[in-house]
């Protein structure tokens, strides 16, 4: 296609967007001549160019629209009909432009009808084509009043609208922009990357050959200029978010009357810039959300009046940059989300999967609108039913690494907050080496770096092949990156080196790498389509030396590591097959008490390990106490009052309970061991669960419950104790959990099988049921299912204990109305789940 | 450009191929796919990738996904890996490199002379072949570039 024509198409499309916007504004402020002048000027420009390019259809349309606008400028009253007519003309022009773009020629057809209407509206006699409804002088005068074509409206087309473009602007305030093809910029970007590589090679050579000092200064200059050039190119990729908003005023303007509503769209922060690529990807979600706000958010004028609100509803769209991300808010002052209707609809569609709506929080219900297949639009109008649902919005935003949050207040409106990264193209990263190869890790996921060496303070310890790192008293599961990626372990890992501590969601784990090389801002290149299925990588980049390096996706790495990490204290989602693992495999912290007796605690019960100077432990009110993190923490010697050291360092095991800490003073921390427990009870010892062989050595398994009550139950005295039934076939777990549950204020009954649990509940009801997934006679889920069907039985609130939980299991649990699924070893998680029931019970009372 | 029915041109049409050798076999790659020919250096391995993906190569700022054609065709790896040649291919906006044993001349062949694949041709080969040109002294297999770049269906099925 002709370059001239192509440019015309691009330019005209932008002009028309502006005309759309401006006309809507004009309708609201009919006395604002500046707006009209601006629109007039744009239409005039289009008309002029069409004439020049020989596009008669377009020219005639633009001319007719211009005539009507000329009349408006002359003081003819501005009616909604007139504006609608002009907008319809703009639509027709767009239609012809689309065809022009496709076929490089104006399509055949006649616009006589629309032109006639325009002319009628302009109060002129209908005439044959070629009539001059506006005198040449008139036109000329109007055109002179408008600003010249030099003031390019391109860049600020959607920028903050307040400054009327048509007002007399001094030459100095002109926005100087040019239009550049995206390909050109992308190509420049590639070239600059090449330049960076070359510069780095030069720097490398200069470093090696020390003699040539003469090269140093110019090389440094080159280096500097290259960096600035790269920065500059990056900036050209940035665009104001307003360009994604440009069409919204028109959409709202057209949509509202269709729905019998009156809506004003207020936009702020349109100048906020973000990467072109991100911009393209948020455009549709934003449009959809604004449509939604008009369709579902804003009420009809009658309803609004009845509620004492102004007839006209307001939708506020705002964008603001915060650090490396941009926050977009879409707020309306409508009725807020109708939680009941959403729940009802979700239930009709079968999306609730057995979940009890009564038990869902408003936030949970609100999130249902993101469910695939959900749409509350009962009437499929032009508004809804466009194929984009909120689920697509949600997944699009998530694909960008962003989030959507919903806040809603009945009668006051709702607010959607979208947070997305500014650019996908540049990533601050850490370059590491593993298996003889370099990889990039996004710094956003990196918490810290630990240099580990055998024998040093922070050392990797292995139990059954699973690596653990003691980090400031916390135990962190560690996986080897080379092993994770299936690269031959090069032995480097054994020699220690580095652990990169990563945070993915709530999970934290360490990645063992051979070496950490540098931090670098990398330019992200998409992964090849042939490799996109590899969840471990999110893309590639070219480093300064020209080498290609894969970018590790921390989420994908965490998933890969899932199985390896699940045995550690940090819980990670894992495959269902892990369920088959022996339930009684426990990671134990082994330590010595007085008389050097070996003792052990489940690692999950331990918050931190500390070592303090014995002298810092003081007697407060007759009990040993330590000032810990600004609070006083009771110190309990594990073997009675004489167990405290008088001098030297005192190892402590810190346990946390309801935000309070308790330290168990022990003689020495020995190890962390993965063991299968076969526990023999020891009668008369309430401090022990029993004895067991741990790595072939008789070890006392400590009952934390014995110590935990010292923290004091958090239920006020005199309050009725809630009754709870604990169903677990393992005596070890029952014994482990009962004291903890009692300390939390429950009266506890236990059952060792599903049958026993049913008998127990039949005798007298309970407030809560804690069920192990693996029962000897039945699966825990089946038990809950049966109890739910049992007539006359009031099913208590249920928490399921599982060593690990796959998605299928979670789904079934949700269907059965199971409130929470907690890892068997997650004591605090269990207590937190039970604490959440308080509200339900209080409501029932 | 990538229309698979390019061979269904009028009989008089000539098709232009860049010829390469893989194993002892001569292949013709339709010239419109070929960007350049280069020596493979600094190959970045991709852990967990399918076996035929040899790695990634930086070719003047472009990241090329390299396919080991011997692996793709089920041939044994080449004993000497010293100097590996590759043909750069552009497909659907992405860049690929096919690692081959040798690169030969560009040939113009009459589309009418293209014979269908023999029925007993190895399945992996048949997938990648659009047909055979019975040249003398050797046969030339016309490579279906799209199929060559697609995941190895035979390996998946196995």
Q: Does A511 touch chain B (CB under 8 A)?
A: no
Same domain, A107 and A152: yes
Per-residue pLDDT, A315: 93
Task: Report mean pLDDT in 10-residue bins for chain A, 845 residues.
Answer: 73 80 79 78 78 78 83 78 83 84 80 84 53 49 48 37 39 61 81 77 72 76 84 81 86 87 90 82 86 87 89 91 79 86 79 68 77 56 49 74 80 86 73 90 83 68 74 80 77 63 77 85 80 86 83 84 50 30 59 82 76 81 77 81 78 74 83 72 74 79 70 44 83 74 80 84 84 81 83 78 74 81 74 77 64
Pairing assessment for the beta strands A426-434 and A437-442 based on DSSP bridges = antiparallel
Same domain, A343 and A490: no
Question: Which 3-state string (H, E, C) describes B61-128?
Answer: CEEEEEEEHHHHCCCCCCCCCCCCEEEEEEECCEEEEEEECEEEEEEEEEHHHCECCCCCCCHHHHHH
Same domain, A295 and A341: yes
Buried b (16+ CB within 10 A) or exposed e, B24-50: ebbbbbbeebbeeebebeebbbbbbbb
Helices (runs of H) and strands (runs of E) counted in chain B: 4, 10
Min Cα separation B150/chain A (Å): 7
Q: Is B143 helix (H, G, I), strand (E, B) or coil?
A: strand
CA B12-B18-B20 angle, to 5 degrees, is 130
Of A398, A421, A444, the residue at which a domain comes to its end is A421
Same domain, A672 and A701: yes
Which residues in chain A are contacts of B65 at CB distance < 8 A?
528, 530-531
User: The CATH number of the domain where A359 resides is what?
Assistant: 3.30.565.10
Buried b (16+ CB within 10 A) or exposed e, A31-55: eebbbbbbbbbbbbbbbebbeeeeb
Choose among A486, A528, A547: nearest Cβ to B47. A486
Judge whether A825 lies within some domain. yes
Closest CA to A845 of A718, A715, A725, A720: A720
| pLDDT 10s digits, B23-79 | 889 999 999 889 899 999 888 999 999 989 999 998 877 889 999 999 988 888 887
Min Cα separation B41/chain A (Å): 10
Per-residue pLDDT, A160: 37
Pairing assessment for the beta strands A585-592 and A668-676 based on DSSP bridges = antiparallel
* Separation between Cα atoms, residue B135 and residue B113, nearest integer Å: 9
Q: Does A157 touch chain B (CB under 8 A)?
A: no
Contact B21, B100 (CB under 8 A): yes
Same domain, A168 and A28: yes
Q: Which residues of B touch A (CB under 8 A)?
A: 42, 44-50, 53, 56-58, 60-63, 65, 92, 94, 96, 149, 151
* Separation between Cα atoms, residue A127 and residue A114, nearest integer Å: 13
Closest residue of chain B to A536, computed from CA coordinates: B48
Same domain, A511 and A547: yes
User: The CATH number of the domain where A774 resides is what?
Assistant: 3.40.50.2300
- Second-level CATH architecture of B13-157: Beta Barrel (2.40)
Per-residue pLDDT, B132: 92
Structure tokens, A526: 């998409």
Same domain, A220 and A253: no
Choose among B42, B49, B92: nearest Cβ to A547. B42
Q: Does A435 touch chain B (CB under 8 A)?
A: yes
Closest residue of chain B to A197, computed from CA coordinates: B61
Min Cα separation B39/chain A (Å): 15
Quick check: B61 and A191 CB within 8 A? yes
User: The CATH number of the domain where A59 resides is what?
Assistant: 1.20.120.160
* Separation between Cα atoms, residue A20 and residue A132, nearest integer Å: 25
Contact A230, A200 (CB under 8 A): no
Judge whether A281 lies within some domain. yes
Total domains in chain A come to 6
| pLDDT 10s digits, A199-215 | 777 777 777 776 667 77
- Region of A830 on the Ramachandran plot (φ > 0 left; ψ -120 to 50 alpha; else beta): alpha
Min Cα separation B116/chain A (Å): 28
Choose among A194, A487, A542: nearest Cβ to B63. A542
Choose among B46, B58, B61: nearest Cβ to A531. B46
Same domain, A478 and A399: no
Q: Cα dist. B157→A248, A531, B44 in Å? A: 50, 19, 27
Per-residue pLDDT, A189: 78
Q: Cα dist. A69→A66, A76, A83, A505 in Å? A: 5, 9, 9, 56
Same domain, A161 and A55: yes
Min Cα separation A745/chain B (Å): 51
Quick check: B49 and A542 CB within 8 A? no
* Separation between Cα atoms, residue A812 and residue A748, nearest integer Å: 26
Closest residue of chain B to A436, computed from CA coordinates: B45
Identify from A190, A528, A545 which residue to disrupt to test chain B contact, counting B C-beta atoms within 10 A and taking the largest count. A528
Choose among A485, A487, A530: nearest Cβ to B65. A530
Closest residue of chain A to B58, computed from CA coordinates: A548
Same domain, A372 and A350: yes
Closest residue of chain A to B148, computed from CA coordinates: A530
Task: Provide the percentage of residues in chain B whose pLDDT is more than 70.
Answer: 87
Rounded to two decimals, what is the model's pTM? Answer: 0.45
| pLDDT 10s digits, A755-764 | 888 888 887 8
Which residues in chain B are contacts of A486 at CB distance < 8 A?
47-48
Q: Give the range of the structural domain holding residue A637, as residue numbers without chain letter.
A: 580-708
Identify from A548, A549, A551, A556 which residue to disrupt to test chain B contact, counting B C-beta atoms within 10 A and taking the largest count. A548
Q: Band of the pLDDT at B144, cuts 50, 70, 90?
A: very high
Residue spans of the domains in chain B: they are 13-157
Judge whether A836 lies within some domain. yes
* Separation between Cα atoms, residue B67 and residue A70, nearest integer Å: 65
Q: Cα dist. A729→A576, A579, A601 in Å? A: 21, 16, 20
Judge whether A362 lies within some domain. yes
Same domain, A748 and A834: yes
Min Cα separation B52/chain A (Å): 11
Per-residue pLDDT, A575: 28
Of A393, A421, A449, the residue at which a domain comes to its end is A421
Establish how many alpha carbons lie within 13 A of residue A678's alpha carbon, considering only the half-sphere containing its beta carbon: 4
Min Cα separation A667/chain B (Å): 46
Structure tokens, A828: 């605090």
Of A215, A236, A257, the residue at which a domain comes to its end is A236
* Mean pLDDT for all residues in chain B: 84
For residue B91, list its beta bridge partners: B94
In the predicted structure, residue B113 carries a pLDDT above the cut 90:
no
Structure tokens, A100: 């022009």
Q: Does A488 touch chain B (CB under 8 A)?
A: no
Choose among B53, B58, B65: nearest Cβ to A542. B58
Closest residue of chain B to A194, computed from CA coordinates: B61
Q: Does A190 touch chain B (CB under 8 A)?
A: yes
Q: Does A542 touch chain B (CB under 8 A)?
A: yes
Q: What is the largest CA-CA distance in chain B?
A: 47
Torsion of CA A573, A575, A580, A584, to 10 degrees: -20
For residue B20, list its beta bridge partners: B27, B103
Quick check: B58 and A550 CB within 8 A? no
Buried b (16+ CB within 10 A) or exposed e, A167-186: eebeeeeeeeeeeeeeeeee
Which residues in chain B are contacts of A534 at CB distance < 8 A?
46, 48-49
Min Cα separation A199/chain B (Å): 14
Which residues in chain B are contacts of A536 at CB distance < 8 A?
47-48
Choose among A529, A537, A540: nearest Cβ to B63. A540
Same domain, A620 and A697: yes
Which residues in chain A are contacts of B44 at CB distance < 8 A?
437, 540, 547-550
Q: ipTM of the predicted structure?
A: 0.86
Judge whether A713 lies within some domain. no
Pairing assessment for the beta strands A768-772 and A797-802 based on DSSP bridges = parallel
Which residues in chain A are contacts of B45 at CB distance < 8 A?
437
């Amino acid at each position: 296609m002709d370059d001239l024509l192509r440019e015309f198409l691009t330019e005209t499309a932008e002009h028309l967007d502006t005309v759309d916007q401006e006309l809507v504004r004009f309708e609201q402020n009919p006395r604002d001549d500046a707006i009209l002048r601006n629109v007039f000027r744009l239409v005039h420009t289009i008309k002029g160019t069409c004439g020049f390019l020989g596009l008669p259809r377009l020219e005639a349309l633009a001319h007719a629209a211009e005539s009507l606008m000329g009349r408006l400028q002359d003081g003819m009253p501005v009616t909604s009909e007139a504006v609608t007519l002009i907008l319809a003309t703009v639509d027709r022009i767009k239609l012809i432009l689309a065809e022009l773009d496709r076929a490089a020629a104006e399509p055949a057809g006649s616009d006589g009808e629309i032109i006639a209407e325009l002319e009628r509206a302009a109060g002129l006699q209908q005439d044959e084509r070629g009539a001059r409804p506006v005198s040449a002088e008139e036109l000329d005068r109007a055109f002179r009043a408008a600003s010249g074509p030099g003031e390019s409206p391109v860049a600020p087309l959607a920028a903050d609208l307040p400054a009327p473009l048509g007002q007399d602007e001094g030459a100095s305030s002109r926005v100087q922009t040019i239009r550049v093809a995206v390909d050109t910029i992308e190509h420049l970007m590639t070239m600059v990357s090449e330049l960076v590589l070359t510069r780095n090679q030069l720097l490398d050579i200069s470093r090696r050959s020390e003699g040539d000092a003469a090269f140093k200064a110019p090389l440094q200059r080159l280096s500097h200029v290259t960096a600035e050039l790269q920065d500059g190119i990056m900036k050209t990729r940035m665009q104001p978010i307003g360009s994604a908003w440009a069409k919204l005023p028109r959409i709202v303007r057209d949509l509202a009357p269709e729905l019998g509503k009156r809506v004003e769209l207020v936009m702020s922060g349109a100048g906020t810039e973000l990467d072109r690529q991100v911009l393209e990807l948020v455009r549709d979600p934003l449009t959809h959300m604004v449509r939604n706000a008009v369709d579902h958010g804003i009420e009809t004028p009658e309803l609004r009046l009845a509620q004492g609100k102004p007839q006209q509803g307001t939708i506020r769209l705002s964008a603001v940059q915060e650090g490396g991300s941009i926050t977009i808010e879409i707020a309306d002052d409508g009725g807020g989300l109708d939680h009941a209707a959403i729940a009802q609809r979700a239930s009709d569609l079968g999306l609730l999967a057995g979940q009890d709506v009564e038990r869902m929080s408003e936030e949970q219900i609100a999130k249902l609108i993101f469910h695939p297949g959900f749409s509350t639009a009962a009437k499929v109008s032009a508004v809804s039913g466009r194929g984009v649902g909120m689920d697509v919005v949600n997944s699009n935003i998530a694909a960008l690494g962003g989030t959507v949050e919903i806040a809603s207040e009945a009668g006051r409106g709702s607010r959607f907050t979208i947070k997305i990264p500014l650019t996908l193209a540049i990533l601050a990263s850490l370059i590491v080496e593993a298996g003889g190869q370099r990889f990039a890790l996004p710094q956003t996921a990196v918490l810290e770096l630990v240099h580990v060496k055998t024998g040093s303070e922070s050392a990797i310890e292995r139990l059954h092949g699973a690596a653990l790192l003691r980090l400031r008293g916390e135990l962190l599961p560690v996986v080897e990156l080379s092993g994770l990626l299936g690269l031959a372990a090069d032995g480097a890992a054994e020699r220690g080196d580095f652990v990169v501590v990563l945070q993915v969601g709530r999970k934290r784990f360490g990645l063992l790498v051979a070496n950490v090389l540098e931090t670098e801002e990398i330019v992200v290149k998409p992964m090849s389509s042939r490799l996109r299925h590899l969840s471990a990588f999110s893309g590639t980049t070219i480093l300064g030396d020209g080498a290609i390096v894969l970018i590790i996706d921390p989420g994908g790495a965490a998933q890969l590591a899932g199985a390896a990490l699940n045995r550690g204290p940090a819980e990670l989602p894992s495959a269902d097959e892990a369920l088959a693992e022996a339930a009684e495999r426990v990671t134990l912290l082994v330590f010595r008490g007085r008389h050097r007796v070996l003792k052990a605690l489940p690692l999950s019960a331990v918050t931190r390990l500390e070592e303090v100077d014995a002298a810092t432990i003081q007697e407060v009110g007759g009990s040993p106490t330590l000032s810990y993190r600004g609070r006083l923490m009771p110190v309990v010697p594990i073997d009675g009052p004489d167990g405290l050291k008088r001098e030297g360092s005192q190892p402590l095991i810190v346990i946390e309970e309801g935000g309070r800490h308790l330290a168990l003073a022990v003689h020495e921390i020995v190890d962390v061991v993965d063991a299968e427990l076969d526990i023999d009870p020891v009668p008369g010892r309430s401090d022990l669960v029993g004895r067991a062989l741990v790595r072939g050595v008789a070890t006392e398994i400590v009952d934390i419950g014995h110590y935990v009550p010292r923290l004091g139950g958090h239920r006020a005295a005199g309050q009725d104790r809630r009754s709870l039934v604990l169903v677990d076939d393992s005596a070890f777990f029952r014994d482990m959990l009962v004291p903890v549950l009692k300390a939390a204020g429950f009266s506890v009954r236990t059952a060792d099988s599903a049958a026993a649990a049913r008998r127990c509940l039949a005798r007298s009801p309970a407030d809560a049921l804690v069920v192990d997934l693996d029962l000897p006679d039945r699966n825990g889920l089946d038990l809950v299912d049966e109890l739910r069907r049992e007539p006359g039985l009031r099913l208590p609130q249920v928490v399921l204990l599982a060593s690990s939980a796959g998605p299928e299991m979670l789904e079934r649990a949700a269907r059965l109305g199971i409130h929470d699924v907690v890892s068997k070893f997650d004591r605090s998680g269990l207590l937190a789940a039970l604490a959440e029931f308080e509200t339900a019970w209080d409501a029932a009372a | 450009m990538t229309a698979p029915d390019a061979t269904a041109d009028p009989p008089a049409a000539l098709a232009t191929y860049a010829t390469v050798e893989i194993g002892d076999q001569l292949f013709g790659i339709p010239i419109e796919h070929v960007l350049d020919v280069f020596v493979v250096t600094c190959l970045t391995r991709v852990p967990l990738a399918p076996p035929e993906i040899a790695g990634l190569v930086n070719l003047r700022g472009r990241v090329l996904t390299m396919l080991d054609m011997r692996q793709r065709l089920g041939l044994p790896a080449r004993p000497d890996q010293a100097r590996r040649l590759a043909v750069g291919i552009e497909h659907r906006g992405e860049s690929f490199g096919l690692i081959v044993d040798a690169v030969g001349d560009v040939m113009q062949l009459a589309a009418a002379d293209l014979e269908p694949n023999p029925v007993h041709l190895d399945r992996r080969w048949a997938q990648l072949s659009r047909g055979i040109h019975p040249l003398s002294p050797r046969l030339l297999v016309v490579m279906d570039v799209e199929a060559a770049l697609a995941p190895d269906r035979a390996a998946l099925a196995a």
